[in-house]
Structure 1
């Protein structure tokens, strides 16, 4: 069972790293060509980068368990890897939330109060992303203090996080403070995702009824890409919310056991990385501009072969 989880994880991580790297490179290429890149492109690039780092950290952790690395277990490595992993997880939530908000702003009509945010420059997105990094680092600061190597057998009541890393005991006040901050932050971002998604669903429904009233079977050429992008973001948010709650349930069982269970932790790792792996594939398959790039490259290659 242990080897099965490891094989499934490395297969999943290989797909996720490849897809996110490809998505990031394509967006960097587009950002280089466009004088005024869209805020959603910058945000999608950031999401791909976060997911790449997240998967690389998971690969390091799993590899250390797979090869029984005797030199992995020390406090510094545990603090660094677990803290960075938690930061990436927080940034994944924040960036997905930001992406859904940006799409809601993009499709909002000029009469909506959201329209005032449409003319914001791309530089504002970088300031927002910087703030999200600061927020995620703040929420993960407890791991820098309390993450220790599981080889520290002189401490009791360690909370096992991985085979080699654990959380040292902390007071109920400190534990309650960080749990409250983490849960409230996650609930807030997930709540904003759901609100923005509900707004987009209502907008698309109204637009669809208006189109049917005008006896039109399709949207205008300008609205069609917006509808496609909106449906993509709605799909991403739906996948994220489902995976988030499944991961949360497994995490609660794992914490309650207070012991290293390779099957439970392996299941949690696979579930947690589903969104990280699927999200770039969804974005790649629905972006018309990326599809056009492939079509143009294929035409050029075909033309070179003919010549």
Structure 2
């Protein structure tokens, strides 16, 4: 095994472990809220869908690529190879769409009651479940032809063009089809990106205006802690900046993979690392800006103290 492959395998292993632990922590956190009958927020269902999509992205792309870096390149049969790539593509698109849905929903809920969105603000929570299911179904339908282009490494058929993904082959039917498919994906994801940036900018504007209106209340508060508006703005800005930067990098590498018929091993591995960055870091961003986390930690410490005392 080459030293470069070993180093990339170790990096992918660390990223996979950190991503799995972070997303499982989010699911355990919401499970604890459910068991303690804590009041749920309207965005909790969206966050749980985002967490599941993130886990599927890590398991379907990060884990196979990590195993390939360690020398295991023929561990998937034809059926598994087709469906692993299909699950990865669907879950990745659902992760992007759900992040966009989260931002738009927050923008609707934070809008003033006297705005033209007042009626939509009342109806929006009722359609969260429907919107999440629609996001999954839509992306499953849009990527339905992807398994037809994948085959396992043991397939000895002489294809005219194929792209090597270390553990699977992507069969290329001409030069125009892959590039057109990538262009359509980038346009769709770009639309989600524009919606997310607009919604986040709208929220920051509303929160900043609200902070100015109640500024005299915060002046009387001698506590060094940040105001709720500042905390909310920081959460929005961190999530948006992380998403925009990683999405831009990931799009650049996807374009390179589509342009080159035989991309280098470095390009494939770097693309995998960047594609898994947002599913890895997003749960930590969400947990670090959720005020209920401190309450859960306090309750858990109280339970442990009671058990030790008894």
Q: TM-score, normalised by structure 1?
A: 0.87
SS where residue 148 of structure 1 aligns? strand
**Cα RMSD (Å):** 2.6
Determine the C-alpha separation between the residues in 1 that align with 2:220 and 2:168.
55
Partner of 2:158: 154
Distance 1:153 1:67, change over 3 A: farther
Partner of 1:197: 200
Matched, 1:240 2:243: yes
Matched, 1:300 2:303: yes
Partner of 1:103: 106
Question: How far off its partner does 1:230 sit?
Answer: 4.8
SS where residue 141 of structure 1 aligns? coil
Determine the C-alpha separation between the residues in 1 that align with 2:220 and 2:265.
51
Distance 1:305 1:141, change over 3 A: same
Question: How far off its partner does 1:12 sit?
Answer: 1.0
SS where residue 45 of structure 1 aligns? helix
8 Å Cα contact 1:80/1:144 also seen in 2: yes
Determine the C-alpha separation between the residues in 2 that align with 1:107 and 1:260.
45
Matched, 1:14 2:27: no
Give CA-to-partner distance per residue, 1:151-200, whole Å, 9 cap, x none. 4450022133x113232222567546533431221011111001101101
Give the unaligned 5+ runs of structure 1: none
- Which deviates more from structure 2 when the two are superposed, residues 129-138 or residues 200-209? 200-209
Aligned residues between the structures? 302
| Pairing of 1:27-38 with structure 2 (within 5 A) | 27-31=30-34, 33-34=36-37, 37-38=40-41
Matched, 1:76 2:79: yes
Determine the C-alpha separation between the residues in 1 that align with 2:236 and 2:156.
45
Partner of 1:216: 218
